């Protein structure tokens, strides 16, 4: 099914704040044609909503395991999500 859309919520832990992780996520997800958002969380993790073709969502989730050069990802919690109607890919405020 060519028009299939997947959505996943990721919570990325490790050294992922103050290392350009959110901007990198916006840039990489946009390049892959995904919709959604990314934000810092007060607990030091980064949360992302990825929406798009299943293969691209999976590819972005794999990229998130590494992140930008200064990041040190120690884990990703991935859960299925619903398409929240996001347009484009944006950086959101910390929660």
Active site members: 22, 40
Q: Rounded to whole angstroms, how far apart are CA atoms 28 and 86?
A: 16
Looking up tokens 């959110």 gives: 22
DSSP letter (8 states) at residue 2? T
Query: In 1-95, which ranges are E strands?
Result: 6-15, 35-40, 46-52, 72-80, 89-91
Are the CB atoms for 60 and 6 separated by under 8 Å?
no
């Amino acid at each position: 099914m060519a028009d299939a859309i997947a959505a996943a919520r990721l919570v990325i832990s490790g050294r992922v704040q103050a290392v350009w992780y959110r901007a990198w996520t916006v840039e990489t997800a946009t390049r892959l044609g995904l919709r959604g958002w990314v934000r810092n969380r007060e607990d030091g993790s980064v949360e992302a909503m990825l929406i798009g073709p299943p293969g691209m969502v999976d590819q972005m989730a794999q990229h998130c395991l590494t992140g930008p050069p200064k990041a040190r990802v120690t884990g990703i919690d991935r859960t299925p999500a619903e398409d929240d109607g996001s347009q484009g890919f944006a950086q959101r405020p910390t929660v």
